[in-house]
Structures are given as C-alpha cells and as structure tokens.
Amino acid sequence: MKKVLISRLLVVLAISLTLVGCKRSGSSNTSRATGWQINAKEGGFQYNTQYKGQENAPGLVFVEGGTFTMGRVQDDVMHDWNNTPNQQHVQSFYMDETEVTNKMYMEYLDWVKTVFPPEEENFRRIYEGVVPDTLVWRNRLGYNEVMTNNYLRHPGYGEYPVVGVSWIQAVEFANWRTDRVNELKLQKEGFLKRGSQYEATADANFNTDTYINAPTQSFGGNEEILKGGKNKPIVDAEGNETGVYASRETGVISPKYRLPTEAEWEYAALGLSEIRSYNSYRGRKKYPWDGQYTRSGNRKVRGDQLANFKQGKGDYGGIAGWSDDGADITAQVKSFKPNDYGLYDMAGNVAEWVADVYRPIVDDEFNDFNYYRGNVYTKNAIGEDGTVKIVTTDEIVYDTLPNGKVIARDLPGAIAQVPVDENETYLRTNFDSSDNRNFRDGDVASSRRYDQGFDDEVEGEDASFTSKMYNSPKHNVEVDSAGTLIREYDKSSRRTSLINDEARVYKGGSWKDREYWLDPAQRRYFPQNMATDYIGFRCAMSRVGSKSKSNKKRKN
C-alpha cells in the first residue's frame, strides 16, 4: 500500500513539474527583451503570441521545399540548350492543387462586373481588360466555334482549366484572389463586418495592401464595415483605441497569391517525395509520376494514359469508345491521379504560365536559392499630404499593350506603385536598381557592339536597331484624340531575337503537345500580353515560418 501511495505521489509530482515547465516555456506574454507584459488590457505592445502556423489558403496544398536538379536530363532533340541541369534550392510554399478553372475565373469576372459596372464608361475598359480571349479557339482550317462560344461560360466546361488568359491577366487574378481571401479571413476573425463583400463599390472596396498600410482608407473609410466586426478594441488610460485593425503582427493576413516561379513549378511538378532515392536526386525523373512511360503499369488500369496530351498526328484522344486519355481538348481537372504532392495535371491538359521572364540561361552561378528572373521592385507612392496615395475612380491609369488590349494598371482602392529609387538603393550590395529583369543576361558582354560603348539603343537613321541580344520586334499601339487605335508594326530587318523583357516562361505540356513536352524541365516562352488555347495557370503562395509542417523533432 505504501509503495502504491509513493508511486502515485511521484506521478503527481512529475505532472506538476511538467505543468510548471510548460507554463514557464509558454509564458510568451512576458517580453524576454524588457520583462514588460505583451497584450496587456491597458494597451502597449500587441502581438500574436499564440500563432500556430500558416494554414492552407483556399485551393492550395503544401509543398515542402528542398534541393533538386533543375533542368532537362533527357535528350535535347529540339537543340534549345536552354535548360542545362543545375542544382537549386526552393523554400517551402503552397500551390493550387489544380489549374484555375473557368468557374473560378468567372467568379472574378462577376466581382469586377459588379464593382466596376462596364456600362459606365469610366469602368468599361476595366472589365474588357480582364475577360479572357475566347477567339483563341479559332483555326483557319478548323471548326471550333462551339468552344469559342461556350468554353468559358457554359457549366459543361465549368471545371475545365481556363485558357485565353494572358500572363498579365493571370497576375491580376492572383491579386484579386488575395484580396477576397483576406477579406473573408478578417470577417471571420472579427475585424470586418460580416458580408462586407456585398457592399463593395468602385469607391469603397477591400485591398490587402491598403488595409495594411492605411486601414482607415480601406472601404473608402467606411467605419461601419471597418469596425463592424465582433472584436472590441482595447482602450488605454488616455482613451486611445488599439487592436481595431489587423496588422501583420496578428498573423491573420495571408501572404499574397501569385504565379509560381519557374523553379517552384518544376520542383512541384517532379513530385520528389522520394528525394533521397538516388535516381530522383540526380535529376533523372522524366515525368510527374514514377516510371519512364506515359501509360499506366497498374494492373487495374494498365495501358491507360497518365496525362492529357496529343499522342500523334491527328490523335488527340484515341478511337471513339476506346479513348486513350478521355479528352480531345482540355480535360476536367482531377481527371488523372495527382503526383506525390497532391497536385493534378502537372503534365498535359494545359501548359501553365510561371512568373519568370524568359532567358535561355538559368544563372545558377550567381544564385541557387529561390531562383527567379523578373524582379521589378516598387514602393508605395506618397501623396502631397505625406500619406500613401490611394487610386480613386478619377485617377485610373490604363496601359495600352502592343496587341491593342487596354488594361487598368491599378484598380481603385489600391495603392499606386512607383519604382524604387536611390533612397532604397544607395550603397546597397544586394540590389542597385528597380528593374532587374536584364541582370546578368549577357546583353553588354555578348553584344556585337560591346566595344563601342554601353548604349543599348542606337540613335539617328538606325533608331529601330538595338545592340541588345534580346531585341525582339517592338510593335507600338497609340490612341489618338478620337479614341482610335493606331497600330504601328516594327518592320525593322535588324531584329535578331524573338525574346524581350515581356517574354514569359510557360511550363508543362498541354492537350495540344506531344509527349516530349510533358517533361517538367521543358521550358518555352510566349509574350506576356498574349493568350492561347493551350496555356492556363495556377497560383502559388509563399510559406512563412517553419520549413516543415511536421512537429516531429529531427534526428540531426
């Protein structure tokens, strides 16, 4: 009996010591810097000390980062020499489990049409600038009008990947998606009035950057919405309110949706769940699935194609009744099994835009961590009153693209952006300019005129000529006083490239491509302002905090 009592006392003592230890280690409301209390009711420093880690945002799956061999390791039958194998490391991130579908994009169109009614002349070009180009389905010698008229909007194609979307439109969709997701999160956390999205107008809507930098100007300063949540602010002894708005310190606001970088996309497509295996680490994996063939070796579905692609001349889906891949154009998302990361259609169906500007080389000598070419650093524009400049409905700036498409640079409610200047670059060693798309891409040193100075553009009679390596034709579109588009074609015979700073990379094979292009390492380029019937996109989001979601302590 005495032994039992002693053992029970020891158990109680052990539990008590554990609780005390937990209390001490978890006493995060006391500052380790000053000893002052954090999150005190009286005010002072407010910080989310109970943050549990980043949650999966809508539509995304987690991809744990790591090291991999980027680039093609199979035969280069096209002789592009544009993706020599090199070792890269990417940080953990999130990616859409499927391509963005027609239904997802239609929700975007509905929001734009509601908030910026196209029947109002001031907003007409906003809606026209985000609508996909449905004419991409037309073919001079083919009858595809059923897709031209129905593919985007008909429910029969609702869960099919959206196409006819340019790189620019894909980026704008990602920005819009960021705002809608964060708006909903702030409603659920009690910072915004429930149902605020139904009260959005052109003059009063939610923008994430505006809310972070100038929360009182979000929703046009409508306090009924901004203070209409369940959260009650903290009032200090002097009557000042704190905790009214969510800041980054609250952990409530998600990072931005964006296009994945080329390195992220390729890493995710490979599905390197078995990265420790010799074959995968050496970069010899050819497809997003295991094996060297496009047909399944599984006993139940042996012989079935593992992706939607063109099997041969005139063969987009096999013989009727015995279809190889179940589709002739695009296929409904999730028609094929996902890869080891849970990502669908990382080969076939539609090729996908990625964030990078295209250059034939990947400069791993300069950087092998989160590689990305395309950085153009900007900062918030500051008005005459010293505060951030919010775009109003009277200050919408439109850009006319080389193909004549007109798009809004920033929507009303967003913060106007300007390039960074010497205030940010002076005496820095990590960057010295706003636009870094051309950094170390060989222009000057590899130019035919490198010994005649460093001026890229030539003046005088040869003004249309440039010494840059990447000097694709520059077509120009201007709008005259009557609103008529004047198209000026670049007829120079001295252009030596089809690549420029507006050529973006797209990855993965499509329903229109042969097997060769299914390799995740394949890379091609297309003008960022143009669209096709075989390029779609999916979004990504950066991971903040820990590299892994696992709570297990690693052996090393």
Decide which of 251, 276, 303 is a domain's last residue.
Answer: 251
Are 262 and 133 members of one domain? yes
**CA–CA gap between residue 445 and residue 451 (Å, rounded):** 9
Are 221 and 318 members of one domain? no
Are 344 and 276 members of one domain? yes
Residue 168 lies in a domain: yes
Number of folded domains in the chain? 2
Cα dihedral 512, 518, 520, 521, rounded to 10, equals: -90
Are 230 and 164 members of one domain? no
Residue 121 lies in a domain: yes
Are 236 and 152 members of one domain? no
Residue 403 lies in a domain: no
Are 153 and 64 members of one domain? yes
Cβ-Cβ contacts under 8 Å for 403 (sequence gap 6 or more): 475, 477, 527, 529, 530
Residue 535 lies in a domain: yes
The answer to whether 228 touches 192, Cβ cutoff 8 Å, is yes
pTM: 0.89
Tokens of 19: 């609780």
Are 290 and 336 members of one domain? yes
Are 136 and 269 members of one domain? yes
Residue 244 lies in a domain: yes
Are 268 and 243 members of one domain? no
Decide which of 251, 282, 304 is a domain's last residue.
Answer: 251
Residue 241 lies in a domain: yes
Are 59 and 202 members of one domain? no
Residue 321 lies in a domain: yes
Decide which of 218, 251, 284 is a domain's last residue.
Answer: 251
Residue numbers of the domain that contains 117: 54-172+254-374+506-549
Whole-angstrom distance between the N-terminal and C-terminal Cα of the chain?
45
Are 227 and 364 members of one domain? no
Are 78 and 218 members of one domain? no
Residue 452 lies in a domain: no
**CA–CA gap between residue 180 and residue 185 (Å, rounded):** 9
Residue 264 to residues 168, 318, 402, 461, Cα–Cα distance (Å): 19, 33, 29, 45
Per-residue pLDDT for the chain (556 aa), expressed as one digit of tens each? Answer: 555 556 555 555 555 554 444 444 444 789 999 999 998 877 788 888 888 888 889 999 999 999 988 987 666 777 777 888 889 999 999 999 999 999 999 999 999 999 999 999 989 999 999 999 999 999 999 999 999 999 999 999 999 999 999 999 999 999 999 999 999 999 999 999 999 999 999 999 999 999 999 999 999 999 999 988 888 777 766 767 777 899 899 999 999 999 999 999 999 998 865 544 444 445 556 788 777 778 777 777 676 777 889 988 998 888 887 778 889 999 999 999 999 899 999 999 999 999 999 999 899 999 999 999 999 999 999 988 889 999 999 989 888 888 888 889 889 999 999 999 999 999 999 999 999 998 888 765 444 454 554 445 555 445 545 567 788 888 888 777 676 778 888 888 878 888 889 999 999 999 999 988 999 999 999 999 999 999 999 999 999 999 988 765 555 5
